[in-house]
Amino acid sequence: GVERTRALANESSPELARYRRVTRDDARTTPGAALGSIGRMARELWTLWREFGHLEAPLFGRFAALIGKRALFAAFFRRFRPAFLWGRDDYSTDHIIRNQELRKTGGKALGVNHGLPINTYISQWREIDFDTYYTFGRHLYETFYRDAWPTRMEIKAVGNIQMTPERRVRMSSERTKDIALYAIVTLRFDEFLDLAKTVAAHFKDRRVHVRMKGRRGSFYMNRYARWLAEEAPANVINNTDPDPYDLMLKTSYAVTPGSTAGIEALQSGAAAFYLDLDPRLRFFYYRNFPGLIVRSAEDVIRRIEGIEAGTEAYDAAAYESLIAASAPDFYATLRRDIGLSFPVQTP
């Protein structure tokens, strides 16, 4: 495996013990190749200066750094020649030059989209460069990014790649009527907490699990901690389970202001809703699916009570273009794509 840092490469991991773990700093080259690389970098830097020397220094510096990174990736792939490279860094410009150098050695780049956006238009996603790109669904590509992504890139809608065969089996298990709220940092964070309080106070017959994604700034984490201690109703559970997918398979409802966890919960069998709290967010992606949208605690309560009373149907299949829940097992698909022929047992 190629780790981001030396510390990660040296970190103990029983699952990875039988594999070699390296970083891009393990690149090696010959003296002759190094001289050629220095010459190419000098020419590229001169060209970059002529075209973009007018840019502010920090921005120009980021462009110039890519020249050095290209040379480093070229040296890395002279030493290591994978037939396939799996990347989860579609948000980074590094993946583009890395995959360009990979192809020069005959390798193919496989990538997966890191999540779905809150705002439809994400600058990082205008420039995606893999040979095969696994996505939650096809809607984002077909509706908004078809003209931006390379035509040679194969788009495969596979749903949530964390939906393992074992988790698929658990989808048929009985689940509680509990509600999961997947919190994210937003400008309307206090409104989200108020909504959580109102929903939990209304549904006293069940637990309301609030899951706050960690390491999102001390201001928000401290605000959340105070809310738990001083304002949250007694049936609120602060969910800190390392495995978020366990919660998705146990609860019947998922509510979030924009986390991809919402659609992951939908694929896991929960009725998911997206809070549209900020009308100033002009391109809130989930507005493309009106059936998912709620705008207040009262909306959440009404939708859940309607489902349980049988007066409202929740049609998860209507969101297949958003998340391909009916797609074949991802791990079987991936094995087939990289030419592994041994059979895969799927429940």
Those residues whose C-beta lies under 8 Å from the C-beta of residue 333, and which sit 6 or more positions away, are: 156, 158, 327
Angle, helix 57-79 to helix 94-104, in steps of 10 degrees: 30
**pLDDT the model gives residue 54:** 94
Alpha helices, DSSP H only, in the chain? 6-10, 31-52, 57-79, 94-104, 139-140, 165-170, 189-202, 218-230, 244-250, 261-267, 297-309, 330-337
Residue with structure tokens 């009916």? 326
- Identify the pLDDT of residue 73: 94
Query: Is the Cβ–Cβ distance between 291 and 322 less than 8 Å?
Result: no
The yes-or-no verdict on residue 21 having pLDDT over 80 is yes
- Would the pLDDT of 217 be above 80? no
The answer to whether residue 347 scores a pLDDT higher than 60 is no
Instruction: Return d(Cα 107, Cα 213) in angstroms, integer.
Output: 35
Residue 345 pLDDT > 80, yes or no? no
Question: What is the rounded distance in angstroms from the CA atom of residue 54 to the CA atom of residue 154?
Answer: 37
Q: What is the pTM of this model?
A: 0.89
pLDDT tens-digit readout, 52-102: 999 999 999 999 999 999 999 999 999 999 999 999 999 888 999 999 999
